A and B are shown apart, each in its own frame.
Chain A
Amino acid sequence: MTRSRFLLVVLGLSALMALCLPAQRAFAQKPTPSDDEVNRIAHQLYCPVCENTPLDVCPTEACRQWRDLIRQQLSQGWTEDQIKQYFADQYGARVLAEPPRTGMNWLVYILPPLVIVAGAFLLLRAMHNWTKPAAQSPAPGQEEPSDEYVARLEEELKKRS
Chain B
Amino acid sequence: MTDSTIAAPAKRRGVPMWAQIIIWVVLLGLLAMVAVALRRTQQGTVQPGDKIPDFAMPLFTGYGMNGGQQVKLSDLRGKVVIVNFWASWCKPCEQEAADLRTAWDSYKDTGKVVFVGVDYVDTEPEARAYLEKFGIQYSNGPDLGTKVSQLFRIKGVPETYFIDQQGVLRRVQVGPFTSVDDIKAVIDPMLR
Contact B146 A92 (CB under 8 A): yes
Range for the number of chain A residues in contact with chain B: 20 to 34
**Partner-binding segment picked from A9-17, A62-70, A105-113, A143-151:** A62-70
Contact A62 B87 (CB under 8 A): yes
**Partner-binding segment picked from B42-50, B107-115, B120-128, B166-174:** B120-128
From B6, B87, B132, B142, A90 is in contact (CB under 8 Å) with B142
A-B residue pair count with CB separations less than 8 angstroms: 43
The reply on A133 being an interface residue by CB < 8 A is yes
Within 8 A of A (CB), among B97-149: 121-123, 125-126, 128-129, 132, 142, 144-147
Given A62-B121, A90-B144, A91-B146: A3 in contact with B129 (beta carbons within 8 A): yes
Q: Chain A at the B interface: mostly helix, strand, loop or mixed?
A: helix
Contact B128 A66 (CB under 8 A): no
- Return the 8 tightest CB-CB contacts between A and B, nearest first: A133-B5, A62-B89, A92-B146, A48-B121, A92-B145, A69-B123, A61-B89, A65-B123
Interfacial chain A residues near B88, Cβ < 8 Å: 65
CA distance A88 to B88 in the complex (A): 19
Interfacial chain A residues near B147, Cβ < 8 Å: 92
CA distance A49 to B88 in the complex (A): 13
- 15 pairs of residues in contact across A and B, judged by CB atoms under 8 Å: A2-B129, A3-B125, A3-B129, A60-B89, A61-B89, A62-B89, A69-B125, A89-B144, A89-B145, A90-B145, A91-B145, A93-B145, A133-B5, A133-B6, A136-B5
Given A90-B145, A91-B145: A65 in contact with B126 (beta carbons within 8 A): yes
Smallest CB gap from A2: residue in B: B128
Interfacial chain A residues near B144, Cβ < 8 Å: 89-90
CA distance A61 to B146 in the complex (A): 19
Smallest CB gap from B4: residue in A: A133
Smallest CB gap from B157: residue in A: A49
Instruction: Give min CB distance, A74 to chain B, whole Å.
Output: 15
CA distance A137 to B4 in the complex (A): 11
Smallest CB gap from A91: residue in B: B121
Within 8 A of B (CB), among A23-54: 48-49
